[in-house]
Copies of this chain bind each other. A is one copy, B any other.
Amino acid sequence: MKFSQTWQASLLATSDPASTIATFPAEVPGNLQYDLAVHEGIADTLMYSTTAERFLEVEDNYWKYETTLDYETKPGERAYFVAEGIDYIFDILIDGKTVYSHEGMYTKTEIDLSDIAHPGSALTVLIHPHPKLPGEFATPREMAAQSCKPPATYEWDWNPRLIISGIWKPCYVETRTKGYIRNCEPFYTLNADRTTATVRFETDCDLPCTYTICDREGKVVYEGTEPACTLDNIHLWWCNGQGEPYLYTWTAKNAEHEVTGRIGFRTVKLVMNRGGADHEPLGFPKSRYPAPATVELNGRRIFAKGSNWVNPDLFFGRITEQQYRDLLIPAKEANMNILRLWGGSGFKKREFYELCDELGIMLWQEFVLACNNYVGTPQYLAILEQEATAVIKELRRHPCIVLWCGGNELFNDWSGMDDQSHALRLLNKLCYELDFERPFIMTSPLIGMKHGCYVFDDGKQQVYEMFQNGHGTAYSEFGVPSAASVENLKKIIPEDELFPIEKSKSWIYHHGFKAWSEERWLCMDVYRKYFGEPACLEDVVDNTQWMQCEGYKAIFEEARRQWPYCSMAINWCYNEPWITAANNALFTYPAEKKPAYFAVKDSLRNTIASARLPKFDWKAGEEFSFELWYLNDAPVPVSDTVRATVKVGDKTYDFGTWETGEIGACENKQGETIRLTLPETDAHDLLLTLDSANGNSSEYRLLYRK
């Protein structure tokens, strides 16, 4: 039985944990910084202007949680204090005496209270100041380079510096009898044609258990005291767009305790890309071919399409299942089959993984390293091993996770790690030992994989040309930014700063400028190149959102055209942790869809008519051209009739129909190239429509100038 506790929080001094500055109610699970904001009356306006800078002042403080233990035990029971995650360095004191000290937010804390506490005892969780690597750094994130906390909170180009801490996962007193099942985990192997599963339960319990496995309809397919069985004619777990994410449920129980969970049967590999990648390079002297980057799920090569997930809240201890759901269901609806859980953002709560299991969203899960050189000191490696071991054991049961990755952009000059880095060799070793079948990569990008760019036009090329020449096996990050809506901008930018847009403190603090370079993420330089000086805020919002829509369509569809040489398109990024002034995300915080969300959703439909366009901006008299394509990620063949029309102002050009003929499962087909000398009209845009007889139509809106 679980007993939740009532907690008080205190902000303590920076140097003296015995000196209390303020005491206030604490939400558990939650985050101390948010509790303080509530106490100080700024919680509702935290996103406004630079309010959140308040937290910079308390970065180096101690904090504590206090409770008077409230539970009861029956004869034969022992009571445990359980905290599933405490962020980040902490001591636990009972009646003033330290009984446990720990570093690491992903390891479960379990303390047998039986001999050291009783109902009514005072329990204190003393949280230490945020770990920061000492020294002078070029960027704030470098302070995270010996920490296993999510580095994004140390400041990132879309995340303010706001390093949070606290009891971020469930925390309770649990009473346990002899029959308590400390752990139960099913493992399985599939036969060669994936029709039969051999299941084996590993159980940590002092009493024998009975095991049950039920199918999705609740029909019992196994029941017995033997912790192993063979199931025939199984349903496989498939990702979104390729089949059903079929889940079985299992139960292990004895007279005193019962635990339950789910199994999704599937095989997953990361295999060499085709289309020539597996024969590169061709000439002498010769290097290696690219790293494998194709997800093979249940023996089927899949084009992985999706987005990079970031924390959906600055205070991720407060995140509820509903918040996850509000973002994950739209991912499925947008035809995505993968999310990359990038190394800067850390591991999620249990509910996140369960939802992805249910929705068929594959996960590329990174360890908590990003853009730094995590030097393998004995202390760092010890914490990393402890945390990684806990996480692998907790998460390996989820069919949704298809890939472990050491972390983000570690093999680039801004990080400075490499294949020899002990931290990454350790993670490879742990994944091999604890999760033999699941693929592991050290970082992204590996050779062949590509990151960037993150703007519509980098001054040399538009995204159209850039990705047509991208030669990537996997585009695992790329972005096109846009401004937030006017309504959302008003929530974060004071009225007197709103327009004309200048590099003022609120715009900067919310990443409109100087986020990564001077003009990010509003990119007014790009704006002016295509649209001139904006007349009003609405112009900036509308036109940057237009570029974001067309830019993302161009990249996602181009990546799909490059299949099977390319096998992944995962944009940066999906969501955001607070309202940004401008961002590459498809959502504005908390889960408001930007127009680009709908554009990406269209481009990711399994089966679409698609146009390969050379560029965005066109002029009267110029030769407009595009290639007709038909993209098919579905596991079944298709055929269609596609009619292409171009509309400029009051002129419409009909290019007739393309009978695609049969296009194989997971194959694309190129049609003819269509050319048109553009007329002179007063229009400001050009509309290209590909009408599909089967409802797989596409539309592109391009810039037109006289």
Q: With A425-B428, A429-B428, A429-B433 as given contacts, are A452 and B419 in contact (CB-CB < 8 Å)? A: no
Stretch at the interface among A176-184, A205-213, A279-287, A535-543: A279-287
Chain B residues near A442: list those with CB within 8 A.
Answer: 419
Chain B residues near A419: list those with CB within 8 A.
Answer: 291-292, 441-442, 446
Residue pair B289, A411 in contact (C-beta under 8 Å): yes
A interface residues, tally (CB under 8 Å): 51
User: How far, in whole Å, are A292 and B425 apart by their CA atoms in the complex?
Assistant: 14
Kindly provide the distance from the CB of A373 to the nearest chain B CB, expressed in whole angstroms.
11
* Chain B residue at minimal CB-CB distance from A269: B420
> With an 8 A cutoff between CB atoms, is A47 at the interface?
no
Contact of A413 among B269, B289, B440 (CB under 8 A): B289
> With an 8 A cutoff between CB atoms, is A436 at the interface?
yes
Contact of A289 among B412, B449, B466 (CB under 8 A): B412
- For A411-439 the 0/1 string (1 means CB < 8 A from B) is 11100101110100110110011001001
User: How far, in whole Å, are A445 and B436 apart by their CA atoms in the complex?
Assistant: 26
Main secondary structure of the interface of A (DSSP, over half): loop
- For A690-705 the 0/1 string (1 means CB < 8 A from B) is 0000000000000000
Residue pair B453, A285 in contact (C-beta under 8 Å): yes
Kindly provide the distance from the CB of A83 to the nearest chain B CB, expressed in whole angstroms.
31
Chain B residues near A428: list those with CB within 8 A.
Answer: 425, 428-429, 432
Stretch at the interface among A363-371, A470-478, A601-609: A470-478
User: How far, in whole Å, are A433 and B385 apart by their CA atoms in the complex?
Assistant: 13
Q: With A270-B420, A289-B412 as given contacts, are A452 and B278 in contact (CB-CB < 8 Å)? A: no
> With an 8 A cutoff between CB atoms, is A450 at the interface?
yes
Q: With A272-B418, A412-B289 as given contacts, are A284 and B426 in contact (CB-CB < 8 Å)? A: no
User: How far, in whole Å, are A440 and B478 apart by their CA atoms in the complex?
Assistant: 32
User: How far, in whole Å, are A470 and B433 apart by their CA atoms in the complex?
Assistant: 39
Q: With A289-B413, A413-B279, A419-B441 as given contacts, are A284 and B452 in contact (CB-CB < 8 Å)? A: yes
Residue pair B284, A466 in contact (C-beta under 8 Å): yes
Kindly provide the distance from the CB of A385 to the nearest chain B CB, expressed in whole angstroms.
11
Chain B residues near A360: list those with CB within 8 A.
Answer: none
> With an 8 A cutoff between CB atoms, is A623 at the interface?
no
Residue pair A458, B284 in contact (C-beta under 8 Å): yes
Residue pair A445, B413 in contact (C-beta under 8 Å): no
Residue pair A291, B418 in contact (C-beta under 8 Å): yes
> With an 8 A cutoff between CB atoms, is A447 at the interface?
yes
Kindly provide the distance from the CB of A285 to the nearest chain B CB, expressed in whole angstroms.
3
Residue pair A285, B452 in contact (C-beta under 8 Å): yes
Chain B residues near A467: list those with CB within 8 A.
Answer: 285
Residue pair A288, B433 in contact (C-beta under 8 Å): no
Residue pair B412, A286 in contact (C-beta under 8 Å): yes
> With an 8 A cutoff between CB atoms, is A443 at the interface?
yes
Chain B residues near A85: list those with CB within 8 A.
Answer: none
Q: With A272-B418, A428-B429, A466-B284 as given contacts, are A447 and B450 in contact (CB-CB < 8 Å)? A: no
Kindly provide the distance from the CB of A208 to the nearest chain B CB, expressed in whole angstroms.
30
> With an 8 A cutoff between CB atoms, is A348 at the interface?
no
Residue pair A450, B292 in contact (C-beta under 8 Å): no
A residues 285-340 with Cβ under 8 Å of B? 285-289, 291-292
Residue pair B447, A288 in contact (C-beta under 8 Å): yes
User: How far, in whole Å, are A652 and B422 apart by their CA atoms in the complex?
Assistant: 58
* Chain B residue at minimal CB-CB distance from A282: B413
Residue pair A285, B418 in contact (C-beta under 8 Å): no
> With an 8 A cutoff between CB atoms, is A397 at the interface?
no
Residue pair A287, B445 in contact (C-beta under 8 Å): yes
> With an 8 A cutoff between CB atoms, is A29 at the interface?
no
Chain B residues near A454: list those with CB within 8 A.
Answer: 284
Chain B residues near A447: list those with CB within 8 A.
Answer: 287-288, 447
> With an 8 A cutoff between CB atoms, is A593 at the interface?
no
Kindly provide the distance from the CB of A204 to the nearest chain B CB, expressed in whole angstroms.
25
Contact of A422 among B271, B413, B432 (CB under 8 A): B432
Q: With A422-B432, A426-B432, A429-B432 as given contacts, are A288 and B443 in contact (CB-CB < 8 Å)? A: yes
User: How far, in whole Å, are A428 and B428 apart by their CA atoms in the complex?
Assistant: 8
Kindly provide the distance from the CB of A631 to the nearest chain B CB, expressed in whole angstroms.
20
User: How far, in whole Å, are A466 and B284 apart by their CA atoms in the complex?
Assistant: 8
Chain B residues near A422: list those with CB within 8 A.
Answer: 432, 436
Residue pair A285, B470 in contact (C-beta under 8 Å): yes
Kindly provide the distance from the CB of A434 to the nearest chain B CB, expressed in whole angstroms.
11
> With an 8 A cutoff between CB atoms, is A166 at the interface?
no
Contact of A446 among B271, B288, B425, B453 (CB under 8 A): B288
Kindly provide the distance from the CB of A423 to the nearest chain B CB, expressed in whole angstroms.
11
Contact of A284 among B271, B288, B441, B453 (CB under 8 A): B453
Kindly provide the distance from the CB of A429 to the nearest chain B CB, expressed in whole angstroms.
4
User: How far, in whole Å, are A441 and B428 apart by their CA atoms in the complex?
Assistant: 13
> With an 8 A cutoff between CB atoms, is A448 at the interface?
yes
Q: With A286-B450, A291-B419, A450-B286 as given contacts, are A432 and B425 in contact (CB-CB < 8 Å)? A: yes
Contact of A452 among B286, B440, B475 (CB under 8 A): B286
Contact of A285 among B411, B439, B450 (CB under 8 A): B450
Residue pair A288, B412 in contact (C-beta under 8 Å): yes
Closest 8 CB pairs of A and B: A285-B450, A284-B453, A288-B411, A284-B452, A429-B429, A447-B447, A292-B418, A425-B432
Beyond the given A285-B478, A288-B446, A292-B418, please list 4 additional residue pairs across the A-B interface where CB-CB is below 8 A.
A284-B453, A287-B445, A426-B432, A428-B432
26 residue pairs A–B, Cβ–Cβ below 8 Å: A272-B418, A278-B416, A284-B452, A284-B454, A285-B451, A285-B452, A285-B453, A285-B467, A285-B472, A286-B445, A286-B452, A287-B445, A287-B450, A288-B412, A291-B418, A292-B419, A419-B442, A419-B446, A420-B439, A425-B428, A425-B432, A428-B428, A428-B429, A429-B429, A429-B433, A447-B447
A residues with a Cβ closer than 8 A to B are 269-272, 278-279, 284-289, 291-292, 411-413, 416, 418-420, 422, 425-426, 428-429, 432-433, 436, 439-443, 445-454, 458, 466-467, 470, 472, 475, 478
